[in-house]
Structure 1
Amino acid sequence: MEVRLKKWQRFVLIAVLVLTTVFVAVASNQILNDNVFSWWWCVPALGWSAIATSTACFLTRAGSRDPDAGVNASTGGRYVALCGGGVVVVGALTVVSYIAVAEAMPEPEPVLARHPTCVSGSICLWPERGFGGDVWMWTPGADADGPIPHRLRDRVGSFEAQATGCFFDSESKETRPINIRDWSGRYIEKFGRQADTVKAKC
């Protein structure tokens, strides 16, 4: 006989199947991202799968109005459970396949950001990261060795060199040689937070 589900029963079954699919998808995603098999993610997914199957059987039995339709209702329940399980498996496999394909695709090569070029024979310093703020230019041979301006002292945000030279920290006596075409857009995170002097040679 034909087994029919009431409207509210269909909504409950669909909601349970959707939740099951989401839990399986999240578990698969978590395992793939962490590359670690975690039972903490698998247990909820398996639990929701069992809930979906039980709910399908129960609602299919409750949906039948024929008291003599126990066997047929049970058979119908198995069909609904199988369909629900298929939805869960397809949903999980779709997510897994999507993630696998996305991870297999090569990442685009990063485009090197353009940076300002200092005047030939000079070294340019900026107070901010990414060459921001007012630039200060120093030319070895033409300018004497000595302290850099106060606004840049111990806070060289970035620099670009078209000449050789040397950064010097008068407190620790540490030095950093500068070569032609050296540059850094985040020098404050390196020796830029210590440099207070610039010289022609280390």
Structure 2
Amino acid sequence: MSAFRARASLVLAAVAALCLPFASPAGAAAAPACPGGSVCFYSAENFHGKAWEWTANSGYRDLPPSLHDHVGSFVASTDACFIAYQPTEKRATHNGDWRSAYAGDFGGRMDGVAPGRC
């Protein structure tokens, strides 16, 4: 095979690989449905454990004790602002966002949720 054909084959293989859909990590759960205008929180990863649904029209709410500093996963069906105190930090989340493993990130510090953008 000529050097040109070998290079062309490599380029085609690279383009084909980019066209393949990205696979989710092994064991990662697909996000469950959450009603529009809500954020659904779970105390464990992969959308397990105690669940709580916050609605945007309810305004700011402290997280319930089972989720305070312990949000394992979430699904957002609206824009919201996640809030942690001491030190204060805010994270915007948007309609369609979800995380199946959030406790090792901001979910391990989260204290409350508010409607809209931060």
Of 112, 121, 128 in structure 1, the residue corresponding to residue 37 of structure 2 is 121
Unaligned regions of 5+ residues in structure 1, if any?
Answer: 1-105
- Show CA shifts across 1:150-198 (max 9, x none): 1100000000000011100122110000100000011111100011110
1:174 is the counterpart of 2:86 = no
Q: Which amino acid aligns with 2:23?
A: V
1:195 is the counterpart of 2:107 = no
Output the CA distance in 1 between the equivalents of 2:109 and 2:61: 15
Output the CA distance in 1 between the equivalents of 2:115 and 2:35: 16
Aligned residues, how many? 95
Larger radius of gyration: 1
Q: Which amino acid aligns with 1:127?
A: S
Structure (1/2) with the larger helix percentage: 1
Structure (1/2) with the larger strand percentage: 2
Output the CA distance in 2 between the equivalents of 1:120 and 1:179: 12
Distance verdict in 2 for CA 1:109–1:180, change over 3 Å: closer
1:158 is the counterpart of 2:73 = yes
CA offset at residue 110 of structure 1?
Answer: 5.5
Q: Which has the higher relative contact order, 1 or 2, with Cα contacts under 8 A spaced 6 or more apart? A: 2
- Show CA shifts across 1:116-149 (max 9, x none): 12111110000001111121000011x1312110
Q: Which amino acid aligns with 2:84?
A: D
Q: Secondary structure at the match of 2:50?
A: coil
Of 140, 143, 168 in structure 1, the residue corresponding to residue 56 of structure 2 is 140
What TM-score, normalized to structure 1?
Answer: 0.44
Q: Which amino acid aligns with 1:111?
A: A
Cα RMSD (Å) of the superposition? 1.7
